[in-house]
Amino acid sequence: MMFRLAKKKWMRSLYWTIVLVFLVSLLTAFIYYFVLIDELEIKPKTIVNSDNLEKQINYRLSGLELGLKQNRDLLKSIRFKLDRVFKDINGNLNKDNEDSDPSDYIRDQSICAKSSPQKEFKPNISMPDVYEELKFDNPDGGVWKQGWDLIVNETLFSKGHKLKVFVVPHSHNDPGWIKTFDRYFREQTKHILDNIVTKLSEDPKLRFIWAETSYLSAWWETVKDPKMKTQMKALVDSGRLEIVTGGWVMNDEANVHYFAMITQMVEGHEWLMDHLGVKPKYGWAIDPFGLSPTMAYILKGMGFEGMVIQRVHYAIKKYLASKQELEFRWRQYWEHKADSDIVCHIEPFYSYDVPHTCGPDPKVCCQFDFKRLPPSKVYLLIPIQSNPFGLSPTMAYILKGMGFEGMVIQRVHYAIKKYLASKQELEFRWRQYWEHKADSDIVCHIEPFYSYDVPHTCGPDPKVCCQFDFKRLPPSKVKCPWKASPHKITDSNVHQRSLLLLDQYRKKSMLYKTKSLLIPLGDDFRFDKLEEWDAQTENYQKLFDYINARPEWNVEIKFSTLGEYFESFKGIHSFPTLSGDFFTYSDRDDHYWSGYYTSKPFFKRFERILESHVRSTEIIFSMASILNPHSLDRLNALMPLFVYARQNLALFQHHDGITGTAKDIVVNDYANRMYRSLENLEKISSQSIMNLLHYENIESNQLKLVDKLPNSFSTSTKSLFIIDDNNNQNWHFVIYNSLGFASYELVCIHLQPMVNNWCIKDNDGVEVEDIQMNRVWSMDKLLTDRVEACFVVHMKALSLAEYSVGICDEKRGVHKKSAVTLYNFGQSFNNLSEDLVSFDETPTEIQLDNENIGLTFSGADGMLRKLSIRDVTTNLRMKFMTYGTRSGKKVQKSGAYIFLPDNENAQDLVYSNCKIRITKGNIVTRFETIIEKPIPIRHQISIIKGKRYIEMENEFFLSQSSFGNKELMIRFYSDIQNDDIFYTDLNGFQMIKRKRYNKIPLQGNIYPMPTTVYIEDTKQRLSVLSGQPLGATSPRSGWVDIFLDRRLLQDDQRGLNQGVVDNRKTKEIFKILLESTSSEPTAPTQPLKPSLEAQIELQKILSPPILMYSTMKSTISEIYFLHNPLPCNIHLLNMRRSSKANTYSLYLHRWGVGCDAKCAANSTVVLSQLFSPFITKSLEPQITRMSLSSLHEKESDLSIDSQLNVEEMHINVYRLRTRGV
Ligand SMILES: [Zn+2]
């Protein structure tokens, strides 16, 4: 406080000096520059004496001459600015945002518990009610195994009420799964897109839908013939090729955080707008393994009108189908108006492939998948070349020359094969036509039949041969597994085949209320070959023509897009409303897809790190672009690097990316892309920060991240800063807080040499007094080359501040070493030094505390026993546990997707002689438990001065073969009487209430925990916040289970064809809060949410301060971009520079307030008051509220002076433009 007063006094004297300088007309330029500094809220580097001031003025002057030339036109505004300077000096000083620490807004009182969805706006269908009602008993439904025997009510259809059938051709293209993105593209998707353009251009009746923009973009970049692009655009313009969803990928909905969900959609939509000028209207999520209402909210917010989903628990499908409620308006449970409802359609049957989309009987539907027709010569593609074979004699020559004695070939024109076969001449000596001796002849064998696959190699009858291809045993998709194959549609069978198909259509239509019927026609990577196009389109067109020609059948049928389907009943039907989500998915029996919530957690953590860097770089890059219009060329040159990083963050949101369900080689490809993306982001952040802080020689220098970039083997390591005697120079750090609120944060850096007289100075040049020096360890090994210095920094909202580190004179600043106590570390540490004591025997109980928190640990297992946070205490015990999987041959087991435990009860992880290390200091105290067997684990609980949570870090490596087919889990036992209720989040965007049911097996009671889980009773709430998405449940009252990692030796029969054994050394981070709850229930209109403190702490896990370093000093030591803090429950989600010049999207999200928060529920934001004046001055006054992906304008008559109101729980996007330079 004292310091701040002194600073203001100084600032005042500086202002007057500047005015004087102005009056003597010495330096117009100086004034301009001064104003610029003032408005940026920049503080010059050094203070306070007048000598320094004079030096500073001279220094700045010399730098200004150049700037003056560039900025002559801006000088006009100087007088206006000067006026403002006077105003500020006369007592109207800018409100300093220094005091905006969010803890000011947290009341010292209980948080509200037992909040429940509001009643006044109750939906027609509430998923929690459906769960109550369902038996989950899975009776056999006949041909529709998971349904019932459908009977068609013929009277429903008449001349005026025809059944309108919309057959929608599609191809599901995973951006990485069995093959990498690039390989899929090269081998399959490129051809599919080529074929779409060719075939749709040929036949005006054809339609197609396409979902994944990542592949469209790859196609656009590689296609050589510009005519193809023109044709593609024409098809999109005409609506015949419809882009559905249009995200970069079809994202997972369990593990994905809403920031990344929006990012991946924006990447897709921006590309579509820039290249095809199209705005998608309908969503298509047929493959994500469970569906989240957050996605519905985001689609609606992006201007979508309808959506299709597919992977919903079979029992829920059946329930909704029985009430004709598979189409509904999906509503957020906390929403009190219909505005955010979106029409949602659930596909009723097992899968999105052809056998499960035409009607209830897959045996029948499969016969109308004409890709599965037995091949005939019509579909042969081998062109006749100038030589009689599709193969070159040059190859024969080369082989012979290499000493080969024979060769086998296959792709030869069928007529030639037939001719040679008729003469038994399929084996011959292949000779060069110009050869006049037999020396170069090579024996050649031609395979006689259509293909080299099993059906065409055993003999002439592929039907027979195929029966001996045992790979095609179910569930292979290659042919119809129901022993009835498709028939080519001919004049003689068209009548019978039409009736067979129509019966299925009519039955499916019985499940929906409208007379419109959606029939997806496609599968994974379909339509890659022209013969499939011909087979599907010709046979279906024959059926359509025949059916449409019979008015007495009361059916209209055609190829169509998804949009045509939704528009057919727009405004005619009103659907029931539904609230809730569709987790946890089961496709059959007790096979619940809850394994992928945790599979490959190393990469799940990696993703969150990348995500945090994308967000922070977006914001700082925008700030640099807005504030340094004269450096725009240099910043623009970084744009391709940035786009790469955004697109690869987007790519990993794919439902086989972050889910951990891709093959190892694909996972490595994703990891490489993420690593390169981080390198790019480091470069972009560095350039942005150097521009903003006016570093010298920006081109030739780069700031580096203190936390080294994660790579495939490590998600976090610290850089080591060495100061040797020869170069006693300082290191300079920039601390970047990307969040819209201020906070005190712990910062720890690794230094060499091992001395205690380090000096750390803040941006005012003031020495940090309180520094804790720690020893550094790697598991149980002491690293003797470094010390760790930990100190607390105060970060202003959205700010940059420079710190420096060096060695002081011996007589000054000797900092306190932390005291280390070791148990079970062996003799080598005995009597090492005063502040390191080692014991062979562990006490029964170990207690640690600080001013807020008390911890009691058991010495026996090194785990927590009791936790007190302020006045709340619970017997909080933690324990590592494991699950196995089922045993026996032909028994479905756990795999990448599915969790099938061997037992409802988890087993304790048995270990003995764990090492315990306690590091006690004045700022941070750590309790570490090191387990060696059966797997290496380091478990750390920390408490930090001033904080009201405990930090938990778990580092482990499940590489041991003894840990095969096991899941590692941590269980929390508490006194909280939550019964069977617990709460998890959806995509970090909202909380949802969960209930554990005995009628559902253990694996079905596990839910995604993208960020948060809590349990509560009328006294307390225990929250666990996570730095990585995982699976969680509450298996009994008072318990919370969090799954940490899994190692599985086998495939789980969902197409991946491998287990999960590429485990990495993984570090997972958590914060644990224990809060008292108010016994008074919250007003029923309140959405469920974590306390304000938990929300703030979660943001700090997900967007931690970014530390960058260099040996150079900046010219400006601090900038803060916010003039006033944001309302305490509004989160600065993003500030993204768009692909269009000078355009930015500002994303604000209002979390909402609980009764623990003092912030006003309805506070508004005025941008001209929020941002620093210089930012405001750089912006066009007019702003526009946009849809979430900025495709549509929502409110255009806004200005930077408007009171912007973000409603509780909502995200608003504002388009800002900078003034022309
Ligand atoms: Zn897929």
What's the average model confidence in pLDDT over 1210-1216? 97
Say if residues 1206 and 1149 touch (Cβ distance below 8 Å): yes
d(CA 291, ligand 1 centre) in Å: 14
Residue 1197 is assigned to a structural domain of this protein: yes
Report the pLDDT value the prediction gives residue 385, as an integer from 0 to 100: 29
pLDDT of residue 725: 64
Q: What is the pLDDT of residue 703?
A: 95
Interatomic CA distance for residues 285 and 331, integer angstroms: 17
pLDDT value of position 1196: 93
Distance 172 CA to ligand 1 centre (A): 6
How far is Cα 721 from Cα 787, in angstroms, rounded to an integer? 10
Average pLDDT on 1143-1168 reads: 86
What is the H or E stretch that residue 615 is in?
helix 601-627
Shared domain check, 774 and 883: no
Domain range for 748: 719-817+1103-1116
Q: What is the mean pLDDT of the chain?
A: 85
CA distances from 27 to 57, 64, 73 (A): 11, 10, 16
Separation CA 1141–CA 185 (nearest Å): 31
In terms of C-beta density within 10 A (0-12 exposed, 13-18 middle, 19 or more buried), how is residue 694 classed?
A: middle
Ligand 1 geometric centre to CA of 357 (Å): 16
993 is a domain residue: no
Ligand 1 center from residue 599 Cα (angstroms): 17
Which stretch of 151-165, 241-255, 810-824 has the lowest confidence by average pLDDT?
A: 810-824
Total number of domains constituting the chain: 5
Question: Which residues make Cβ contacts (< 8 Å) with residue 969, sequence separation at least 6?
Answer: 880, 881, 882, 883, 906, 1041, 1042, 1043, 1044
Ligand 1 midpoint to CA 989 (Å): 24
Model confidence at 414: pLDDT above 60: yes
- In the three-class reduction of DSSP (H, G, I as helix; E, B as strand; rest coil), residue 637 is classed as coil
Whose tokens are 């570390």? That residue is: 825
Structure tokens of 556? Answer: 């209209």
Q: What is the DSSP letter of 1000?
A: S
More confident call, 431 vs 196: 196
Query: Confidence band (pLDDT; 50, 70, 90) for 473?
Result: very low
More confident residue, 82 or 425: 425
Q: Is residue 629 part of a domain?
A: no
pTM: predicted TM-score of the whole model, two decimal places? 0.85
Strands 591-592 and 586-588: antiparallel
CA 607 to centroid of ligand 1, rounded, Å: 19
Q: Let me know if residue 995 belongs to a domain.
A: no
Predicted confidence (pLDDT) at residue 676 exceeds the cutoff of 50 = yes
Of 287, 523, 581, 1156, which one is the catalytic site residue?
Answer: 287
Give the chain's count of helices (H) and strands (E): 26, 55
If asked whether residues 941 and 828 sit together in one domain, one would say yes
* 907 vs 95, higher pLDDT: 907
Residue 891 has pLDDT above 80, yes or no: yes
Whether residue 1108 sits in one domain with residue 1135? no
- Residue 829 is predicted with a pLDDT of 80
β-strand 1039-1047 against 586-588: which pairing, if any? Answer: unpaired
* pLDDT of res. 72: 37
What distance in Å separates the CA atoms of residue 1210 and residue 335, rounded to the nearest whole number? 10
Domain boundary among 534, 554, 572: 572
Q: What is the rounded CA–CA span in Å between residue 228 and residue 223? A: 7
CB atoms inside a 10 Å sphere around CB 624: 24
Are residues 1052 and 968 located together in one domain of the fold? yes
Which CATH number does the domain housing residue 519 bear? 3.20.110.10
911 and 804 share one domain = no
> Is the model's pLDDT at 598 over the cut of 80?
yes
Answer yes or no: is 77 within a domain.
Answer: no
Residue-wise DSSP of 1088-1130 = P---HHHHHHHHHHHSPPEEEEESSPPSEEEEE-BSSPPPTTE
Q: Which is nearest to 959 in space by CA: 1066, 1061, 1068?
A: 1061
Task: Determine the pLDDT at residue 1077.
Answer: 86
For residue 988, how far is its CA from the centre of ligand 1 (angstroms)?
23
200/328 same-domain check: yes
What's the DSSP call for residue 187?
I
Residue 321 lies in a domain: yes
Per-residue confidence at 62, pLDDT binned at 50, 70, 90?
A: very low
Residue 88 has pLDDT above 60, yes or no: no
Looking at residue 30, its pLDDT comes to: 46
Q: How far is ligand 1, taken at its centre, from the CA of residue 523, in Å?
A: 10
Is residue 287 part of the annotated active site? The answer reads yes
Of 385 and 722, more confident: 722
Q: How confident is the model at residue 451 (pLDDT cuts 50, 70, 90)?
A: low
Give backbone dihedrals phi and psi of 495, rounded to 5 degrees, phi first: -65, -50
pLDDT at 271 over 70: yes
Q: What is the mean pLDDT of residues 381-403?
A: 51
The CA-to-CA distance between both ends of the chain, in Å, stands at 40
CA of 252 to the centre of ligand 1 (A): 9
Q: How confident is the model over 619-635, as a mean pLDDT?
A: 93
- Cβ neighbors of 729 (< 8 A, separation 6 or more) are 723, 806, 1111
Amino acid found at 1022: L
Q: How confident is the model at residue 520 (pLDDT cuts 50, 70, 90)?
A: very high
Q: pLDDT at position 1175, please?
A: 95
Task: Say whether both 216 and 307 belong to one domain.
Answer: yes
Phi, psi of 1182 (to 5 degrees): -80, 130
User: Residue 214 pLDDT more than 90?
Assistant: yes
User: Do 1108 and 1164 lie in a common domain?
Assistant: no
Position with higher pLDDT, 609 vs 752: 609
pLDDT digits (tens, 9 = 90+) for 1044-1072: 999 999 999 999 999 999 999 999 999 99
Report, as an integer, the average pLDDT of 1201-1218. Answer: 95
Mean local confidence (pLDDT), 643-670: 97
User: pLDDT digits over 892-938, tens only?
Assistant: 999 999 999 999 999 999 998 899 999 999 999 999 999 998 999 99
**Ligand 1 centre from 349 Cα, in Å?**
17
Residues 838 and 806 in one domain: no
Q: Is 490 within a domain? A: yes
Phi, psi of 503, deg, nearest 5: -60, -40
Lowest-confidence region among 105-114, 166-175, 756-765, 895-904: 105-114
Residue 838 has pLDDT above 70, yes or no: yes
Give the pLDDT mean for 508-533. 91
pLDDT given at position 49: 44
What three-state secondary structure class fits 935?
Answer: coil
Q: Kindly state the average pLDDT of the residues 871-883.
A: 96
Burial of 241 (0-12, 13-18, 19+ CB in 10 A): buried
Of 79-93, 1076-1090, 1136-1150, where does the model show the most confidence? 1136-1150
Q: What is the pLDDT of residue 32?
A: 44
Lowest mean pLDDT segment, chosen from 27-41, 301-315, 1104-1118, 1191-1205:
27-41
Q: How far is the CA of 235 from the centre of ligand 1 (A)?
A: 25
Bridge-based pairing state of the strands 342-346 and 306-309: parallel
CATH of residue 1147: 2.60.40.1360
159-163, 475-479, 535-539, 958-962: the lowest-pLDDT one: 475-479
Grade residue 629 by pLDDT with cuts at 50, 70 and 90: confident
Centre of ligand 1 to C-alpha 173, Å, is 7
What mean pLDDT comes out for the span 272-300? 97
993 in Cβ contact with 1018 (< 8 Å): no
3-state class (DSSP) for residue 598: coil
pLDDT band at 112 (very low <50, low <70, confident <90, very high): low
Q: What CA–CA distance (Å, rounded) separates 333 from 1063?
A: 38
- Cα(351) to centroid(ligand 1), Å: 11
Work out whether the CA dihedral 148, 149, 154, 160 comes out positive or negative: positive
Pair of tokens at residue 1047: 């190692």
Name which of 112-126, 326-340, 479-493, 704-718 the model is least confident about.
112-126
Q: Give the Å distance between the CA of 355 and the centre of ligand 1.
A: 17
pLDDT at 1125: 85
**The CATH number of the domain where 904 resides is what?**
2.70.98.30
Confidence of residue 287 (pLDDT cuts 50, 70, 90): very high
CATH number at residue 779: 2.60.40.1180
The answer to whether residues 347 and 310 touch, using CB atoms and an 8 Å cutoff, is yes
170 and 150, same domain (yes or no): yes
Distance from Cα 175 to the centre of ligand 1, integer Å? 8
pLDDT value, residue 395: 64
Distances from the Cα of 1026 to the Cα of 406, 599, 1139, angstroms:
62, 15, 33
Q: Is 220 part of any domain?
A: yes
Ligand 1 centroid from CA 655, angstroms: 6
Do 939 and 917 meet the contact criterion of CB atoms below 8 Å apart? no
**One domain, residues 805 and 829:** no
Could you give the CA distance from residue 115 to residue 499 in angstroms, rounded to a whole number? 54
Q: Rounded to the nearest 5°, which phi and psi values hold at 95?
A: -70, 125
Residue 305 binned pLDDT confidence (cut-offs 50, 70, 90): very high
d(C-alpha 1094, C-alpha 371), whole Å: 54
State whether 752 and 901 are in the same domain.
no
Give the per-residue pLDDT at 9.
46
Percent of the chain exceeding pLDDT 70 equals: 80
What is the whole-number distance in angstroms between the Cα of residue 183 and the centre of ligand 1?
Answer: 16
